[in-house]
Amino acid sequence: MLVWVVAVAGVGVLFYGGSQKIEIVGMAQSQVAQVCAPVDGHIKTVYVRLFDVVKKGQPVASLDDELLTAQMATVSATAEHLRSQLIPTQDQLLSDINAAELDRAEEQRRFAVDVEKARLDILSLKAQIASDRITLEDYAAEVKILTDLLAKNTVAPYEVDKAKALHTALARKIEEMENHVVQAQEQLKLAQLRYDTFISQKFQVPSVDAALDAIRKEAAVQEKLVEEFAVQRRALVLTAPIDGTVVQILAKSTDPAAQRTAQGILEPGENVVAGQPILVIAQNKSQEIIAYAGQNQIGDIAVGMKVALIRNGGVSSQIAKSEILSVGPIIEQMPARLWVNPAVPQWGLPFVIKIPEGMQLTPGETVGIRQL
């Protein structure tokens, strides 16, 4: 009798202790990031393929830049138009100057025109540089694509060399033009200094600034447009926000080389709107486990609670200790993978568990969770 009493008591203790331990199935998850179109447009190139590994900041796609190129050409044309307006403006200034002040006004006009001419020279150079930078980035993308194709023996080496030569030549041209901009800015400073010195010494003819005011304002507008287009151009090259693997490509490319590298997966004619996802990148390593406590288990869940993680994977089975990092504020529907019956949705209180060092879990893998 004594043995039976002790045995029954032991079973009761074990049963009670087991009832205090929660047993839940959780799911490993990693950070997932979408690469979205910053503006309305049309996909020009997708540089990656499905399941390619990418680094943060690596270009993964680009939007068409034809509109920006046309807008930069318009800025250049406007600069030339403003330059041509200096001649009739000069004639108008001459006709408005009083004969008694002709010498003084003529000298002031010359100084003022020199200043605006130097300003327009700078604007024209900046517009050309901005336009060439667009072409330079296109050459860089082409070099990358051809280099990848060369590694696969799809193109001849001379095509890569040709693309690199075009890229190098244009880069040198841009560098030279940037040096010209620096020189032009020095000329502008000198012209402005001469003009300011002249104005401080002699009475300013009102018609000079009035005649050039419209040109000055329009030139300032075009300078701002050049800066704005440069910012927009950088936004057209989309980069990976995190290190990881491309798990989904939602948009397609119109670039023939990109279609070849995608082995026929991509098709031409893809348009996108601002905010539309183009591709999805997921981190390769799980950072945490998400699990859900049933209504009868909510009282057992708390931040800092120690738990055991049980990975059932055949030869890779593993048990590790961890703790709960955070607990959600409301009960919500579980992911379908965690439902006991796939046809019956389940609800629970979400909580997050840290994956301990040494436990390698594939994103999406399920693990058992038990209170320690």
Q: Where are the domains of the chain?
A: 21-30+285-371, 32-62+237-282, 65-234
The whole-number pLDDT of residue 100 equals 52
Tokens, residue 163: 């693309």
pLDDT tens across 209-242, in order? Answer: 666 777 777 777 778 777 776 666 777 888 999 9
Q: Which residues pair with 54 in a beta bridge?
A: 244
pLDDT tens across 160-172, in order? Answer: 899 899 999 999 9
Mean pLDDT of the chain: 80
Tokens, residue 101: 């002040």
**First CA to last CA distance, the chain:** 34
Domain 21-30+285-371: CATH superfamily is: Efflux pump adaptor protein, beta barrel domain (2.40.30.170)
Which run of H or of E encompasses 343? none
- Put the strands of the sheet holding 277-282 in their side by side order: 32-36, 277-282, 244-249, 53-54
Which whole-number Å values give the CA distances from 305 to 133, 158, 292, 300, in the listed order? 56, 64, 15, 9
**Angle in degrees, 0-180, between the axes of helices 66-96 and 206-235, rounded to the nearest 10:** 170
- Rounded distance, CA 240 to CA 60, Å? 6
Q: Which residues contact 11 (CB under 8 A, 6 or more apart)?
A: none
Instruction: Determine contact, residues 351/291, Cβ cutoff 8 Å.
Output: yes
DSSP-based three-state secondary structure for 6:
helix
pLDDT tens across 357-368, in order? Answer: 888 888 888 999
- Rounded distance, CA 366 to CA 298, Å? 20
DSSP for 130-164, please give it: HHHHHHHHHHHHHHHHHHHHHHTT-S-HHHHHHHH
The whole-number pLDDT of residue 210 equals 64
The whole-number pLDDT of residue 255 equals 43
- Rounded distance, CA 338 to CA 365, Å? 11
The whole-number pLDDT of residue 349 equals 95
The whole-number pLDDT of residue 209 equals 65
Q: Which residue has the higher pLDDT, 92 or 342?
A: 342
pLDDT tens across 249-286, in order? Answer: 886 544 444 433 443 343 435 778 888 898 999 988 88
Tokens, residue 213: 């005011």
The whole-number pLDDT of residue 6 equals 65
- Rounded distance, CA 11 to CA 19, Å? 12
What predicted TM-score, i.e. pTM, was given to this entire model? 0.48
| Low-confidence winner among 9-13, 30-34, 187-191 (lowest mean pLDDT) | 9-13
In percent, the amount of the chain with pLDDT more than 70 equals 78
Q: Which residue has the higher pLDDT, 311 or 7?
A: 311
pLDDT tens across 112-137, in order? Answer: 898 889 889 999 998 898 888 888 88
- Rounded distance, CA 241 to CA 208, Å? 53
Mean pLDDT (whole number) for 311-328? 84
The whole-number pLDDT of residue 280 equals 92
The whole-number pLDDT of residue 266 equals 38
- Rounded distance, CA 61 to CA 278, Å? 8
The whole-number pLDDT of residue 222 equals 77
**Angle in degrees, 0-180, between the axes of helices 102-151 and 157-201, rounded to the nearest 10:** 160
What architecture is the 32-62+237-282 domain classified under in CATH? Beta Barrel (2.40)
Question: Is pLDDT above 80 for 353?
Answer: yes
- Rounded distance, CA 61 to CA 231, Å? 17
Q: Which residues pair with 282 in a beta bridge?
A: 32, 245
* Residue entry with tokens 């969770």: 369
The whole-number pLDDT of residue 308 equals 93
Q: Which residues contact 129 (CB under 8 A, 6 or more apart)?
A: 174, 177, 178, 181
Banded pLDDT at 204 (limits 50, 70, 90): low
Banded pLDDT at 208 (limits 50, 70, 90): low
Instruction: Determine contact, residues 229/75, Cβ cutoff 8 Å.
Output: yes
Tell the burial category of 175 from Cβ atoms under 10 Å away from its Cβ (0-12, 13-18, 19+). Answer: exposed
- Rounded distance, CA 229 to CA 361, Å? 45
In percent, the amount of the chain with pLDDT more than 90 equals 29
Q: Which residues contact 209 (CB under 8 A, 6 or more apart)?
A: 112
- Rounded distance, CA 327 to CA 351, Å? 4
The whole-number pLDDT of residue 17 equals 40
